[in-house]
Structure 1
């Protein structure tokens, strides 16, 4: 089979959504399928894509969308996509960061309408705070797809509510971590409870602002803890300002992007992620496979991979009150974190054994 992957990601060199299609592409290539990916030039030139080229991955660079009349006229049929037609795929997989990428990439609907092959939209993110301004356009686009794939039941149900539309042909495939371990990592020796937030530095969705406010509360001042922030993103400066504003410079460290995730979890006891929206976060799954419990919020697929007080702790919302209450409960049970982490490891191990990339490939081949 000849599979074309169109990535709609615009603003990041590499994100969790890219990691998922990359795992899928590797699986397909290893089984003898031909795969072409068309992605933003930053993604196309990334080290992760370079690693797939020796396996046979073909790569097209897509220029960023610029909303000017001249550009729209010149690029009306998205000339960057002509390489997809030349590839003559049997199927197009649109790897979408959001359900509403169509609204940011107006040529997408026109391009897909011209392709007379099965088209599948792989949706990685749906959130309460992200509403479409043109439901009719999204519904029309949805109807042109052979199928949709969501990474959590929560995302599918929320998308149906937001659009008043039934995704009857949709498949839910929960992500699995790329990392696989035979056993959980050894528990850190540090007497200081090391907490990690592994996430893009984008407070609108990842909630580092709320987390820092909670940790600035009086009850946390006398406790023996340290927060490590891992990631890069548009709010790096703002987060640094918040750390100073809340007088947390001695208790919070920003490490930037760290490629070796095992090195992160050899040093940290607990994952904390105050998300305002998610698909199914790979960062949580990575913490789980390393044997670490997670404190997070009830968004996306979090409740589908975590059980409150068994494999982690789930706050109702990303508000200071809700997160403070849940983080307090987790702190009270910190003597159980090692035990909880071991159970989380078993859950993540099961997800790996289900092989989401293989499941997606089989699903697409049977369309």
Structure 2
């Protein structure tokens, strides 16, 4: 007889929804389908968002960790940003403690956008004696912890039952940043967009016979710190690229949309670069674009890369995060040695010189991604969580 387990999922994503939340969200639905209880404690819950609606429809319950008392709600626009963030974090941790006491989870999964932004929530679990696991969707090489925060970060990672990462690069970088080995660390895959699941067993999209103009798509959050669209625009503003028939569409939303629009105007790229907004269905992108380009400064392992490869599109991408763990340079795409304009220029030049081969390169990319990435990543992840929770219940390690 199977045991009904209680899972608490804590998401530290500061946005109403982010691509970093797809893994835990799809796993949560799988857990509900297996008749387990799932409570989601998330920052900035937007009950109108389709993903939140899907979680509620599946039977998950929700707590917004950014709820604040009425007085602070009235004062938040007058507080300095740092003080506002401190109040929000403190209140979020207090609310999480209430959820832990009332829900009494068998396992808590703290889902982080990067490898440290959920440490405060995980520390609540650690200090309270609740079994927890961590999943990190990204690690940034220049975000080394300060000395004053290192002991808590080290303690949180050491006490986690499992530390999940979405790339080997992110795991190894995290170990370097905290100065500790993580023997309980595991690399997992992010789930593929459900609209593309059929692509695992279907032929890739045909590449347009016309390569004039070449249409490139950059599919990434409009966040220059991580995604580096400014580097790409700088490259396209160079004389040799101005003289070539290339059109670029920047898909996505984010906090730097206005800055990107103004940079396009400053570099006189109007008419060559446009913003495509958020595209829920990747097929709509790859029916009209011939290659993916990702100038990222930091990554986990981008879903956009997996989706483009499944659709038979070559990628030009920087060696950030786990990109090089999937993209085979000069075989399934073109890898830029680093997140610099010159490195992106060189990779794009190699791609340009082989543009007549993009159809064959895209076919190789589709074969490679099908052989490498599991189609049921969310199912596999939920199974790992169930096994971990069973061990916690059997060992009776939770202190309440």
TM-score band, normalised by shorter chain: over 0.9
What is residue 28 of structure 1 aligned with on the other side? 31
Aligned counterpart in structure 2 of residue 96 of structure 1, from 102, 105, 112: 112
Cα deviation, residue 77, structure 1: 5.2
What is residue 73 of structure 2 aligned with on the other side? none
What is residue 125 of structure 1 aligned with on the other side? 138
Q: Given the two structures, how large is their TM-score scaled by the length of structure 2?
A: 0.85
Cα deviation, residue 174, structure 1: 2.4
What is residue 38 of structure 1 aligned with on the other side? 41
Tell me whether 1:326 sits opposite 2:347 in the alignment.
yes
Tell me whether 1:47 sits opposite 2:50 in the alignment.
yes
What is residue 13 of structure 1 aligned with on the other side? 16
Deviations 1:110-138 (A, max 9, x none): 52134433200001110212221222221
CA 1:183–1:355 in 2, change beyond 3 Å: closer, same or farther?
same
Number of equivalenced pairs? 363
Cα deviation, residue 51, structure 1: 1.8
Cα deviation, residue 41, structure 1: 3.0
What is residue 143 of structure 1 aligned with on the other side? 158
C-alpha distance in structure 2 between counterparts of 1:249 and 1:233, whole Å? 20
Cα deviation, residue 109, structure 1: 4.8
What is residue 188 of structure 2 aligned with on the other side? 173
Aligned counterpart in structure 2 of residue 344 of structure 1, from 344, 365, 372: 365
What is residue 396 of structure 2 aligned with on the other side? none
C-alpha distance in structure 2 between counterparts of 1:331 and 1:283, whole Å? 21
Q: Which runs of 5+ in 2 are unaligned?
A: 69-81, 389-400
Tell me whether 1:244 sits opposite 2:248 in the alignment.
no
C-alpha distance in structure 1 between counterparts of 2:107 and 2:381, whole Å? 13
C-alpha distance in structure 1 between counterparts of 2:342 and 2:55, whole Å? 45
C-alpha distance in structure 1 between counterparts of 2:85 and 2:244, whole Å? 57
CA 1:35–1:76 in 2, change beyond 3 Å: closer, same or farther?
closer
CA 1:177–1:78 in 2, change beyond 3 Å: closer, same or farther?
same
Tell me whether 1:281 sits opposite 2:302 in the alignment.
yes
Deviations 1:272-323 (A, max 9, x none): 0111100011111111111111111111110111100111111111101111
Tell me whether 1:2 sits opposite 2:45 in the alignment.
no
C-alpha distance in structure 2 between counterparts of 1:74 and 1:345, whole Å? 46
CA 1:52–1:350 in 2, change beyond 3 Å: closer, same or farther?
farther
What is residue 126 of structure 2 aligned with on the other side? 113
C-alpha distance in structure 2 between counterparts of 1:69 and 1:231, whole Å? 26
Aligned counterpart in structure 1 of residue 208 of structure 2, from 173, 188, 205: 188
Q: Contact 1:230–1:254 at 8 Å: present in 2 too? A: yes
Cα deviation, residue 229, structure 1: 0.6
What is residue 363 of structure 1 aligned with on the other side? 384
SS at match of 1:211: helix
Aligned counterpart in structure 2 of residue 58 of structure 1, from 33, 58, 61: 61
Q: Contact 2:123–2:156 at 8 Å: present in 1 too? A: no
